[in-house]
Amino acid sequence: MNKAQLVEAIADKVGGRQQAADAVDAVLDAIVRAVVSGDRVSVTGFGSFEKVDRPARYARNPQTGERVRVKKTSVPRFRAGQGFKDLVSGSKKLPKNDVAVKKAPKGSLTGGASATVKKAAAKKATTKKAAAKKTTATAKKTAAKKTTATAKKATAKKTTAKKATSTATAKKATAKKTTAKKATPAAKKATAKKTAPAKKATAKKTAPAKKATTRKTTAKKATARKK
């Protein structure tokens, strides 16, 4: 059965030959476009159409037997559904007053422009999510770096201030010790000066006292001689 015969077979069911031709063309066009774009067209009970990628390989020319390298390519593939297989194998009988293949459930036929649009939208959404995640991660890293740098600067300032304070305190203590050392000799000199006049005054007082005592003893001796 070719395409023309297929159109004739369904013409009575769709209301005319032209309508049948348009229907066949529309169905085939939708299947081809879907498979070319990489979608899988599945009709329950009938089968599925899909695109298969074949890697590069070596083959033989059937006429010459020469080994030929075949490039990587993509080919369409049709897989019959279980209902179709059962009818062909004879395990099920063809219905007389009903269609051989039941109507596909809603959503089982995939392909056409709608499927392509959905895939594109899904890819864009995934790309936006990935970009948002990268931006968030970059912002977090930048904030962490800034916080660490600020903390280091504050710590350095505190350490410098502590060192400066301790240095100033040490300098003051050293200055006090130096001043005390310088003041000690001066105080000793002043004390020595004060004690020297006091010793002289004491010596002067004791000298007249000794002379008076000497005079008294001399007068006593003279009185004793007279008697």
Radius of gyration of the chain (CA): 62
3-state class (DSSP) for residue 37: coil
pTM reported for the whole predicted model: 0.43
3-state class (DSSP) for residue 79: strand
Residues contacting 159, CB < 8 A, separation 6+: none
Residue 123, Cα to own-chain centre: how many angstroms?
A: 23
Q: Is residue 162 within 8 Å of residue 169, measured between CB atoms?
A: no
Residue among 117, 95, 115, 99 nearest 107 (CA): 115
Q: Is residue 119 within 8 Å of residue 110, measured between CB atoms?
A: no
Q: Is residue 104 within 8 Å of residue 45, measured between CB atoms?
A: yes
Q: Is residue 27 within 8 Å of residue 3, measured between CB atoms?
A: no
Residues contacting 95, CB < 8 A, separation 6+: none
Per DSSP, 165 falls in state H
Residue 30 backbone dihedrals phi, psi, to 5 degrees: -65, -40
Q: Residue 96: its pLDDT value, please?
A: 82
End-to-end CA distance of the chain: 195
Q: Which helix (H) or strand (E) holds 93?
A: none
Per-residue pLDDT of the chain (227 residues), as tens digits, is 999 999 999 898 888 999 999 999 999 999 999 999 999 999 988 999 999 999 999 999 999 999 999 999 999 999 999 989 999 999 888 888 778 877 655 554 444 444 444 555 556 666 666 666 666 666 677 666 766 666 676 666 675 556 656 666 666 766 566 555 554 555 455 455 555 555 555 555 555 556 656 676 666 677 667 65
- What is the C-alpha separation between 44 and 82, in angstroms, rounded? 9
**Residue bearing tokens 């063309």:** 25
Which tokens sit at 171? 């300098």
Residues contacting 169, CB < 8 A, separation 6+: none
